[in-house]
Structure 1
Amino acid sequence: MKVAPAPSKAEVISLGCRLNISESEQIRALLADENNVVVINSCAVTSEAVRQTRQAIRRARRNRPDARLIVTGCAADIEREQLSAMQEVDGLIANTQKLDSRAWNVPASSRPVLAQHTRAFVTVQNGCDHACTFCIIPKGRGSSRSLTISEVLSDVEHHLSQGAAEVVLTGVDVTSWGHDLPGQPSLGQLVHAILERFPELSRLRMSSLDGVEIDTDLFDLFAGEERVMPHLHLSLQSGDDLILKRMKRRHSRKDAVDLVRRLRKYRPDLAIGADIIAGFPTETEDMHAQNKSIITELGIVHGHIFPYSPRPDTPAARMPQVDRAIIKQRAAELRAETQKCRDRWLINLIGTEQQVLAEKDGTGYAPSFARIQLPEGTPAGRILNVKPKKLEKGLLK
């Protein structure tokens, strides 16, 4: 007698930002009792992200030919017509509805059980009210919407009860949190409330921030609160002031430099990350040089370098474009400059004691988000003191 194979569980494939990672966990929890479903939680921030979404759809269909394949995320809204025309796709769910159980035709749950992870991504905000000339994400995410302090505290409590050792606050435009709430509380007030409510939480990390919108309370927490990790990732985009104006960003180069200088006065171990776009329309060689030099000036060690790609219906797509080969070359130069800064930084960490949060793959992350090899058999979720002895292929050991 043949035993029928067990039905395949739901699978969620996440592309793009940390917010998508957080939302994918919630989708996975919603679909915990569903069988033979594959969900692509897509990204559309660049044309390359859309290409990767299409690639993920085709790969998922090859791997799970009999599964029901659903696409959600930003590309499901922004590229809806193109994705719905793909023969591999069985359906699309709007990005704004993807956490609504009704959209998936599953019973509503008061609190879905999330998978246990060493770090918990807690969404505090969604959407964006700004109009950066290169960005299409507001079209896929809508206007800025904040969770209340009580809602965030409830989410944090739930993750801690599931064993999370670190909490990462995430969103589309995190520093706009609270602008739409009664009394317009600041992000610093939210962080303070979390730390006060949960003294057992030893590590709180911030995702990408708009430096010019960091409020006084949040600055003070970065400067003097050990439980706030010394890792600041800036939504920088460019080191050239004219390009920043053409992007409709709200900061100048000097704003970013001054912020980092003031924070390092109190927190010398602060590690800086940044998003930087290579080859924005009208960018000259001198402007590109400004991009390279701010990497060294700020000491950027966690660099996300994006070759510019025009997104439909954005003002930047109508500006004079830089040749694609030049964009590719400039992106490579920015990555190389970041790697130099990163290698110098990692070498300086050799022999220093680091508190490392173990991941499942045998490595872990220091407070500065330096990745470090751990002793074999270290259980995930454990925090231990490590003194790395060498740097090998970008990994401290």
Structure 2
Amino acid sequence: MMQKAMKPRVGMLTLGCRVNQYESEAIAEGFTTLGFSLFSFEDSCDIYVINTCAVTKESERKSRQMIRRALRKKEKASREGRSVLVVVCGCYAQQYHQQGYAFPDFEGVSFLSGNVGKDKIASSIARMWEEGLETPINVLQGMAGVAYDPLFIRRSEKVRAFVKIQDGCNSFCTYCIVPYLRGRVRSRKKEEILREVENLVENGAGEIVLTGIETGAYGTEENRRHLPLLELVQAVSRIPGVHRISFGSLKPDVFTESFTEALSRCHGILPHFHLSVQNGSDPVLKAMGRRYTIGQVNEILARIRTYFPRVTFSADMIVGFPGETEEDFQNTLHFIKEAGFLHVHIFPYSQREGTAAAKYAHQIAPIIKKQRAAMLAEEAKRAARGIKHTFEGQSFSLLIESMDPTHVVGHTENNLEMKIPRHPEDRVGGMRTVNYTHQNR
């Protein structure tokens, strides 16, 4: 029988994307609302929750590693006469369901959930704990036809607060397992999003980050255009106290002329965008199932720069996609050199079972993928230094995200990171006018 503490201790660990981070924060809030105490995953806890990822083989490996670590903690507690619950949710668990329960990694897990019903995890665990239930519970289900999980955050500890606006993806890019693990596009009700934003701003959020599995697809299950996202952003920008709005990853082709022009007129939109470009060579983009060319991406970057002075960009890039030639890779290097990204998130291609690209001929050797990733990272660093140099000495507004007794750390409106000496009036979540210098990075 489980020993019941007055306030059971919950240790949470999150792997993967911003959506996972948002969902974990909402799950954690559910636990605290029910009287549980939150601790580090490394602490001695009564309940361990792992929100897993499976977008790459490496994220799968990390998910397995963290599950095993929690199970070892459970075994140790058992030897000491204590009962511990291990909860696993997210994409790696969902993959376990999709592939017919073929994984041995979940033996000993107390509660297994995928990407459906995360809003019920805290209440389900509270019931297990209160009733002393030790029989494992598996609530995994398929993603076909599922509704949007009504997760909600009332107060965030983050100055830059994530707000999830949609789930799922309909693109089925040839390399990507996400549509199979997250399901089709389904969007959150606008009224719920606005209510959450109001709560977050009232509780001190300095920036609202609208995010999703495919953020730009918000509302498109009912409307094929990108107007639903624009209408949502316009509504968010009108909420009193909202001063900064940014986005999770967006596909480049979201930025049509009309969308970009209208977005530039919204109050608080930050001049920084993260674009899921994925590659710098047209033949590779076509093989990936991306519906744009690099020429079109360059036109989109120029368009955004027209409407957003001092804008910066970051990007996702995949190297070593099946059939990627040396010429293709050189095209990607050239694109990164010319496009001028502040940050580039580089992923060596990961072969995912069930995707079209996993069956493609001419899979690239791991050593070549590693070499190309390193070369691209060096080119990206050089390009970023050049971009930062163009802003040297310019005045910006800094959102203070953290501080110590002598310094504050934050980001300018165009996502330049700065660490500068602290002023007496500085506070976390506050703003401060600064002159940028690369020495303050």
CA spacing shift, 1:96–1:364, aligned 2, 3 Å: same
- The answer to whether 1:49 aligns with 2:95 is no
Which of residues 364, 369, 380 in structure 1 aligns to 2:415? 369
Name 1:97's counterpart in structure 2: 117
- The answer to whether 1:234 aligns with 2:275 is yes
Structure 1 gap segments, 5+ residues each: none
Offset, 1:25: 0.6
Residue type of the partner of 1:327?
A: K
Offset, 1:210: 1.0
Structure 1: distance between partners of 2:300 and 2:397? 26
Name 2:48's counterpart in structure 1: 38
Offset, 1:193: 1.5
Residue type of the partner of 1:43?
A: C
Structure 1: distance between partners of 2:380 and 2:434? 25
CA spacing shift, 1:111–1:299, aligned 2, 3 Å: closer
Offset, 1:6: 7.2
Offset, 1:199: 4.0
Structure 2: distance between partners of 1:374 and 1:37? 39
**Counterpart contact for 1:363–1:371, Cα < 8 Å:** yes
- The answer to whether 1:194 aligns with 2:262 is no
Aligned positions, number: 388
- The answer to whether 1:175 aligns with 2:175 is no
CA spacing shift, 1:245–1:380, aligned 2, 3 Å: same
Residue type of the partner of 2:192?
A: E
- Structure of greater Rg: 2
CA spacing shift, 1:27–1:322, aligned 2, 3 Å: same
Residue type of the partner of 1:68?
A: L
- The answer to whether 1:288 aligns with 2:361 is no
**Counterpart contact for 1:191–1:218, Cα < 8 Å:** no
Offset, 1:195: 1.0
CA spacing shift, 1:386–1:62, aligned 2, 3 Å: farther
Structure 1: distance between partners of 2:152 and 2:346? 37
User: In the TM superposition, what whole-angstrom CA distance separates every residue of 1:272-316 from its partner, at most 9, and x where no partner exists?
Assistant: 111100100000000011111111221112111000010011111
Name 2:41's counterpart in structure 1: none
Structure 2 gap segments, 5+ residues each: 38-45, 78-83, 128-149
Map of 1:274-285 to 2, 5 A cutoff? 274-285=315-326
User: In the TM superposition, what whole-angstrom CA distance separates every residue of 1:107-151 from its partner, at most 9, and x where no partner exists?
Assistant: 8x9966433320110111100111100000111111100112212
Partner SS for 2:375 = helix
Offset, 1:60: 4.2
CA spacing shift, 1:134–1:194, aligned 2, 3 Å: same
Which of residues 81, 84, 92 in structure 2 aligns to 1:75? 92
Structure 2: distance between partners of 1:6 and 1:383? 40
Offset, 1:52: 1.5
Name 2:284's counterpart in structure 1: 243
Q: Which moved more, 1:150-159 or 1:275-284?
A: 150-159
**Counterpart contact for 2:152–2:196, Cα < 8 Å:** no
Offset, 1:188: 1.2
- The answer to whether 1:316 aligns with 2:357 is yes
Query: How high is the TM-score relative to the length of structure 2?
Result: 0.81
Name 2:176's counterpart in structure 1: 135
User: In the TM superposition, what whole-angstrom CA distance separates every residue of 1:72-97 from its partner, at most 9, and x where no partner exists?
Assistant: 11111114546653456333112122
Name 2:24's counterpart in structure 1: 24
Residue type of the partner of 1:69?
A: V
CA spacing shift, 1:390–1:135, aligned 2, 3 Å: closer
Name 2:200's counterpart in structure 1: 159
Query: How high is the TM-score relative to the length of structure 1?
Result: 0.90
**Counterpart contact for 2:12–2:48, Cα < 8 Å:** yes
Residue type of the partner of 2:63?
A: T
Structure 2: distance between partners of 1:274 and 1:182? 27
**Counterpart contact for 1:257–1:297, Cα < 8 Å:** no
Residue type of the partner of 1:213?
A: V
Name 1:357's counterpart in structure 2: 399
Name 1:332's counterpart in structure 2: 374
Structure 1: distance between partners of 2:157 and 2:215? 24
Please tell me the root mean square deviation across aligned C-alpha atoms, in Å: 2.6
User: In the TM superposition, what whole-angstrom CA distance separates every residue of 1:220-241 from its partner, at most 9, and x where no partner exists?
Assistant: 2444446101111111111111
Which of residues 376, 381, 384 in structure 1 aligns to 2:429? 381
Structure 1: distance between partners of 2:151 and 2:109? 30
User: Percent identity among equivalent residues?
Assistant: 32
